[in-house]
Structure formats: structure tokens, C-alpha cells
A and B are shown apart, each in its own frame.
Chain A
Amino acid sequence: MSAATAKQEYTNRTLDIRDLTMMFGGLRAVSDFDMAVPENGLYGLIGPNGAGKTTVFNMITGIYRPTEGTILFEGNDLVGREPYLITRTGVARTFQNIRLFQNLTVLDNVRIAYHTYAGYSMIEAITRLGRFGARDRVMTEQAQDFLAVFNLQDRQGEIAKNLPYGEQRRLEIARALAAQPRLLLLDEPAAGMNPKEVGTLMELIHFIRDRFKLTILLIEHQMRVVMGICEWITVMDFGQVIARGTPRDIQSNTRVIEAYLGKRMGKEL
């Protein structure tokens, strides 16, 4: 891996993962995984099914505790922290299969992500005294602003599960942004979208990166998305890094092509 890491020389590393290993019993789901995501970068993590991409996401966000290795976010190690504390330090994510709060309204979905910054106590909420009125209004307005960015403001009173698929995806990103992250993890944001929606999504990802000054790390299967928006890419297969570099490097990398398409018949025989 040393040859591969040497290529990445940027200094401001928002996320710096070193020697990450995850064992499920005897299975090495991820082994000796290294990755460094530059500040304000748009970084892609790709690989065939079962390569361990989502496992990496789950380790960053604290759902899984890595067997070995460190995950430095802005210099602080995230390993062993509670998931909700990791979110509060500035990491938010979306899920491969959308996980909205299905029976709640669109607005409430976003307001829940804002809970950390609510700023009033339970007693103030029950008595409706003190900071409640002002803070709750600010919270609602902020949530509505996030919805407006994703053009969901007319949907705020609707139940989340009744939204069409594309809007659910956008709502999930809006909700993640409301948690006010500096690093946003997107797990297959384009899954299940038609080519036209994919096009809008790509522009949207660029837009939120610039507007909210974020670092974005995304997992994606659609090569069009990855090659179109990512500035750097790491390719995984069977839990290991097989290549990394700019989209152009990756496109011509033989190991990547092998991983995706298989080896040439002649070589096997």
C-alpha cells in the first residue's frame, strides 16, 4: 500500500484512516485499509459488491468498532466513540437503503437532526417558558431553510414515506446536512435513480459541497457519477485497497478493470 499512499500529498486531511481492519469472526471484511480525504474534497470510494465499502462507512460513523486501526477526523481519533458523539463532532451520513423517519413529517425529519443545537431544556419545553419559544422558532426556520435548498419546502407537512423516491433521497441528504457536519458521507446516493435524476444529483452534490464548505466522501456504483464528480478515488476489492488516484488514473488501471470485469480468459488458462 505504500506505493499507493505516496501519491496523495495533500496536507489538510479532514479524514485520515490508517491500517483499518474489521474482522467478523474469522472473516476479514476490511483489512489494512488506508485512505486520506483532503479538506473540502470530493472523494469517491468504489469497488464491486461486497468489497467492504459500507463496512468502512459503518466504522467511521461508529456503528462498527474496528478490530484495528485509527480513524482520524480533523486530528481526533473516532475509534471507540459512541455514534451520536461522532455525529456531534461533525460527521453525518446517508444510507444505501434510505433510512428516513418514515412516519414523521418531512419537516420533523430535518428538525430531529437539529436536536443537538436545540438549546432548551426539557423543563422549558414542558412549561413553554424561557428559551423555548425563540429557540424552537429558530430551529424550525433553519430546518425550513435546509428544505428550501433541496426544494422540499412545499412538502414540509407531508409524511416522509409518502414522498417519491427521488425526493426521499434528497430529504435524506437535507437531514444529514441539518446535523451540521463538516464531513458528509453519502452511501450510494444515485442508487435507483434514472439518468436524468442522476444528472441533477451530481450538480446538487457539487452545489452542497461549495455552499456548506463540506468534505464529501461517497460510495457509488455508477461509474458516470464517480468519474464525473469525484476528485480522488479509492478502489476496494475483497476488503483491500487495490488502487487510488484521480479518475483518469483509475480508468486505465488494469487491477480495477479486472476487479470489475474479471480477468481475461487467456490469462486464467
Chain B
Amino acid sequence: MQTTMPRKRLIPTWIPTLLVAIAVYLLVAYAKQTDRISVYWHQVIQLAGLTAITGLGLNLIYGFNGQFSLGHVGFYAIGAYGSALITKDLLTKWSGTNVGALAWMIAGQIGLVLVLMLIGRLRVGQIRKGLAARLETLIKPHEAWVFTTLVTLILVAFALALGVGFVWLAQKPLAAGLGSLITKLPEVAAQNVIFVLALLNGGTLAALVAYLIGLPLLRLGSDYFGIATLGFAIMMYTGLQNSDLIIPTMKGARGMVGIPRWTTWGWVFGVLVVLVIAMRNMLYSSHGRAIVSVREDEIAAKMMGIDVAQSKALAFAIGGFFAGVAGGLYAHLYGFLHPSSFSMVKGFDPLIIIVFGGLGSMTGTIVASALFALIIEGLRVLLPQGFEDWRFVIYPVLLLLIMLLRPQGLLGTNEWGWLRPPIPPMKGVPVSSKPSTARAESGEGGA
């Protein structure tokens, strides 16, 4: 039995972590600058970076919160198309003005949040219950049902109408404001501002959708939830194939073109760093511990006063946000989006990566996404001509071997460097508060 307490580390953990991060960034940037790697490999590395971002999101959902989700690719798609529509608008004015799409999306999301808050405020469920109890003494239950349903619908419609009204009103001044902002700013700055807004928009859009579908679906047990989210992913895929019916510029199954290729190594790396810091800080706080406790034992978590349903929905929404941002980066990496990039089979990639790296390990996910990209693309180079397709034989065999030899994944739940949980300081123990008996007992137990 281990009795050793982790001792205070000599060097603060953030120093080696920062050094490694800077080294990785400079190495890739230098190799690109001096043409030591081709444009193709440069893209592969960027793809690995944004796969790490998606993977981290899914790891939060599956590895840390314990909810098996197959719908992650759906959020990735939402983020990709959501941000591409905005940046394409800036260049081609497909919506009429060059910030129309952005204004609509911002107003729309605020409106959606407003509707949700309003429905919460109206206490639809309670009103319904109270009304049903009162009516059932007067009229027959099925008649009362018609009446209560009608009242519920009216309340929801009222909230929706207010939301839509808000969106309608807010969109115009928002568009005007944003329009004047980008004309005032120098072109490069305007482009960067719009890019950041587009990425954020992709993320929040995905997070909102995740929250909305998460609330009802997360009541299901783990496996059932997995199947339900798979349904969501398929719906997204089918929806994207027919997306040109609603927004013609999404081009449906023909694929969306004309997206500016703004994603660079710097953007990918910067976003990855920011999100890793955010996720790490969140996990090592009370909110993060609540999320992890749900994975460990749902009933015990409830008994400790943790709102399990909210915890799950929150983890699912944050995971969706990560996928959405990564999707946005993906859209601007190749400048071309096609529904087949978001098919169910592609959706397994992040799942493979997080299981391969270790469920519940951020470090594992980052390392595994780098290895994943290198193996898939590296084999393409290594294998002799005509045998390239054999990489889909070699790579599954590698997966099999990893799972047989290390079922917990490369890192298990271990972390490295700054990503490791901080060690709380040992506290001087107030001797007076100890019962003498407990002390006597553990003297034997701890030996």
C-alpha cells in the first residue's frame, strides 16, 4: 500500500510545460519558415492541433464526465459551417451586407438564451401541475389535459415570440454597428476580429445546441445516450447534405466553397493553448470536481448535493464548444467544407484518439492526436507506392495492440507537468479536534 504523500515539487510545474509548448511552437514555425516541411505536412500538423481541441472536448464529456457520446462530429460540423458562413460573408456579401450573417447569429443566440431563461422564469412545469390539480376536480382528466397543454403551448409561444422579436429588433443595429466597426479598422485587424468572432460564434452555437439536446438526452443511461447522440450526428449529416434548401450558400451536398483560408499554425496553437488552460483550470476547481464525481458514482454525487443533470449538461455544452471552435479552424484550414467530412465514420476519430490517449487525461489526448495524424499520414509516405491503402490495415492493427497491451490508453488518467492536479498544502492539524479513539485506530490501520 502506498503511504507516500506527493512532496512539493522543486520546480513549479508550469516552467517545463511552458518550455515544451514554446519549443513545439517554434519547431513547427521554424520548419515552415525554412521549408523543411512541405505545405502538406504543415497542414497535417495543424489538423493534428485542431483534432486535439475536438478530442479534449470529447474527453471532457466521455473521459471526465463519463457520458458516452457519438455525436461529437455533429458539433464539429456546426462550428465549421457556423463560422464559415460568417467569414465568407465578409468577403462575398452573400447575406446582402458583409456582416449580416454575423449579426443574425449573435442576435439569434442571445435570443435563444433569452427564450430559455424566460421559459425557466415562467415556471411552465409548475403552472401546468397546479392547473391540472385544480381542473381535475371540475372536469374530466382528458379535458383538463387539453386545457393544460394549450396553456403550456401559449406560454412557450409567448416566450418564443419575445425571443424572435428581440432577434428581429437587435439584428439591424448590431449589423450597423459591426459594419461601421470593420470599415473603421484597418483591413488586417478587421479580418482578425471577424475571425475570432466567427470561431467564438461556431463554438457557442455548438454549445447551445449541445445544451439543448443534452437536457433531455442526458437522462438516458450511458449506452442509450450514445445511441441517441449517434442519431443526432446522422441528423446533422443529412441536414448538411440538404442545407442549400435553407441557406443556398452552404451548397448542400456539393460542398461549400469560397471560405477564406485564414487558419495558420499560430491560430491553431494559440486556440489550443487557451482552451487547454481553460479546461485545466475548470477541472481543478469545484465545478470540475463535480463533473468528475458524476463519472465516478452518480448516486453518491447526488447524495453529496451535486446537481447531476446540470453537471452533465454543462460538461456536454463545454465539450460541444471545444468541438465547435475546432470545426471553425478546420473550415478555414482548407477553405472547403463537404458533408462527407462530418460523416459518422469521421466521428469515430476523436473517440479513437481519446481512448488511445487515455480517458480522463488531457495530456494523453494531445499526445494521441499528434500520433494519430503522424501515423495515418506518415504511413502514406513510408509505404511503397500502390500500397498506401494498407495503412488502414496497419493502423487498426496498431489500435488492437494498444488496446490489448494498455487497455487504459497511453497515459491512463495520468497528466504531465502543469496539467497535473495541483497539490494542496498540508495543513497544521488542530490536535484538540481529534477524537482520541480515531487516532488510536488509524495507528494500527496505517502501518
Interface of A toward B, CB cutoff 8 Å:
61-63, 82-84, 87-88, 92-93, 95, 99-105, 107-108, 111-116, 118, 120, 122, 125-128, 132, 136, 139-141, 144-145, 148-158, 162, 164, 166-167, 170, 175-176, 178-179, 196-197, 200, 203-204, 207, 211
Contacts and interface: CB of A to CB of B under 8 A. Distances in A.
A101 B6 contact: no
Interface stretch (B14-22, B282-290, B361-369, B384-392): B282-290
A103 B287 contact: no
Contacts, number: 165
B433 A92 contact: no
B5 A114 contact: no
B9 interface: no
B293 interface: yes
B271 interface: no
B440 interface: yes
Given A102-B296, A103-B296, A84 B308 contact: yes
Interface of A is mostly: helix
A203 B429 contact: no
Contacts of A107: 424
A115 B445 contact: no
A111 to B, nearest CB: 6
Interface string B280-320: 01100111111011001101111111111000001000000
Contacts of A167: 442, 445
B139 interface: no
A65 B306 CA distance: 19
Contacts of A87: 302-305
Given A122-B282, A125-B286, A148 B304 contact: no
A191 to B, nearest CB: 17
Interface of B: 1-3, 5-6, 278, 281-282, 285-290, 292-293, 296-297, 299-308, 314, 413, 421, 423-427, 429-430, 433-435, 437-442, 445-446
Contact of A84 (B2, B307, B427): B307
A84 B297 contact: no
B201 to A, nearest CB: 19
A118 B288 CA distance: 12
A116 B305 contact: yes
Contacts of A156: 5, 424, 426
A151 B434 contact: yes
20 contacts: A84-B302, A87-B303, A92-B304, A99-B297, A101-B296, A102-B296, A102-B297, A112-B293, A115-B306, A125-B285, A136-B285, A141-B427, A148-B427, A148-B434, A154-B3, A154-B5, A158-B3, A179-B305, A196-B441, A200-B438
A158 B438 contact: no
A175 B305 CA distance: 11
A62 B302 CA distance: 10
A148 B296 contact: no
Contacts of A102: 296-297
Contact of B285 (A132, A141, A145, A175): A132
Contacts of A111: 286, 289
Contacts of A118: 285-287
Given A88-B305, A118-B286, A154-B5, A166 B445 contact: yes
A115 B305 contact: yes
B427 A153 contact: yes
B438 to A, nearest CB: 4
Contacts of B442: 151-152, 167
The 5 closest A-B pairs by CB, nearest first: A125-B285, A118-B286, A101-B296, A87-B305, A83-B302
Given A162-B1, A179-B305, 17 more contacts: A63-B299, A92-B303, A101-B296, A101-B301, A115-B290, A118-B287, A126-B285, A148-B434, A149-B433, A150-B438, A153-B426, A157-B6, A164-B1, A179-B303, A204-B438, A207-B435, A207-B437
A200 B440 contact: yes
Contacts of A139: 286
Contacts of B445: 164, 166-167
A92 B429 CA distance: 25
A219 B149 CA distance: 45
A126 B282 contact: yes
B424 A200 contact: no
